[in-house]
Structure 1
Amino acid sequence: MVKFFQHTFAYDHPWENVTYAFWLRYPNPFASHVVCADVIDRSINDDGMLKTTRLVLKKGKLPKWFPDQFVKSSEAYVIEESLVDPKNMKMVTRTRNLNHVRVMQVEETQTFTPHPVNPEMTSVRTEARIISKFGWGLASRIELFGESNFANNAAKARQGMKHILQMIREKHLIRERMSFMQAQTA
């Protein structure tokens, strides 16, 4: 059995700011579970698209009912691959955990595009598959736990992005004010 998660959300910020915030989102107060994130490869292809691969280390909590002797550490490495197409204003990210995959594999795809009605906003579509191959009658229970946990973490991730976007907006306003004041004194 596989659990699926889908969600669409709109940020009240232009696509350029949201894709920029994506790279700055760690650390933030809503991502205390993220230990570190490192770029391991970045290149621009012949079509002018930016391809990035990052390795992210996250810590999590096992449910109390799960036999803890099967998992030595609740930390998990996640590979994140992204492709940014600035010409068509589209960014697609794919993530999946690299360890604990027999217990639970989470594969997530996010697509960032300008909002179809308001170009000053950005639409984000999230799709995820939660799969457990654990067996012993626990796979379905693990997948339900994973789906619930994923939904909660997705909400925190949106809060973290909003936090970073607000910081970007405030810095932009400060720069505008400083430029205005310098123009007034010149």
Structure 2
Amino acid sequence: MVKFYQHTSSFEHAWDNVTYAFWLRYPNPFASHVIGCDVLDRSVDPVTGVLRTTRLILKQGVLPRWGRSLIKSPDAYIIEESEVNPKTHTMVTRTKNLNHVRVMQVEETQTFTIHPENPKWTQVKTEARIISELRWGMTGRVESFGINKFMDNSVKARKGMAHILERLRQNAAAAAAASAVAPLEA
């Protein structure tokens, strides 16, 4: 059995700002479980201009009491592959865990596009699959736990992005104010 999740959300920020914030989203107060994030590979296709990035993310999860006998360490290594197309204003990210895959595999795809109703906003479509290969009647329990945890974490991820976007807005406002004052001081 497989559990699916799908959600579409919006940020009242331009696509350029949201995709920029995506790269800056760790650390933030809503992602204390993220221990580290490293770029493994990054390239730009010379013909299409598409930026491709592969990152390795280390997260520390929380295990339910019944899951502690199945997984010795709650640390999870996540591979994230992304493509940013500046011409079509589309960013697609795909993530999946590299360890604990027999117990629970989490595969997530996010698509960032210009909002269809307001070109100054960004729409994000999130899709996920939670798959467990456990037997002994545990599959459904593990997948249900996984989908519930994923939904909770999705809310935190949106709050984290909103936090980073607000910080970017504040920094831009401060820089604009500083540049407006600088000529007067000269």
TM range (shorter): over 0.9
Q: How big is the shift at 1:98? A: 0.2
Which residue does the alignment assign to 1:26? Answer: 26
Structure 1 residue 52 and structure 2 residue 37: aligned?
Answer: no
Q: How big is the shift at 1:179? A: 1.4
Which residue does the alignment assign to 2:159? Answer: 159
User: Aligned equivalents of 1:13 and 1:32: distance in 2?
Assistant: 24
Q: Deviations over 1:118-138 (max 9, x none)?
A: 111100000000000011100
Q: How big is the shift at 1:178? A: 1.1
AA matched with 1:121:
W
AA matched with 1:53:
T
Structure 1 residue 91 and structure 2 residue 97: aligned?
Answer: no
In structure 2, the gaps of 5 or more residues are none
Which residue does the alignment assign to 1:9? Answer: 9
Q: Report the identity percentage.
A: 59
Q: How big is the shift at 1:70? A: 2.5
Which residue does the alignment assign to 2:41? Answer: 41
In structure 1, the gaps of 5 or more residues are none
User: Aligned equivalents of 2:70 and 2:110: distance in 1?
Assistant: 30
Structure 1 residue 145 and structure 2 residue 148: aligned?
Answer: no
Q: How big is the shift at 1:164? A: 0.4
Matches within 5 A, 1:106-125: 106-125=106-125
User: Aligned equivalents of 1:97 and 1:40: distance in 2?
Assistant: 15
Which residue does the alignment assign to 1:132? Answer: 132
User: Aligned equivalents of 1:172 and 1:155: distance in 2?
Assistant: 26
After TM superposition, the runs of 4+ consecutive aligned structure 1 residues lying more than 4 A away are none
User: Aligned equivalents of 1:57 and 1:122: distance in 2?
Assistant: 27
Q: How big is the shift at 1:182? A: 2.0
AA matched with 2:59:
K
SS in 1 for 2:55: strand
AA matched with 2:57:
V
Q: TM-score, normalised by structure 2?
A: 0.97
SS in 1 for 2:165: helix
Q: Deviations over 1:74-110 (max 9, x none)?
A: 1000000000000110000000000000000000000
Q: Provide the alpha-carbon RMSD of the alignment.
A: 0.9
SS in 2 for 1:70: coil
Q: TM-score, normalised by structure 1?
A: 0.97
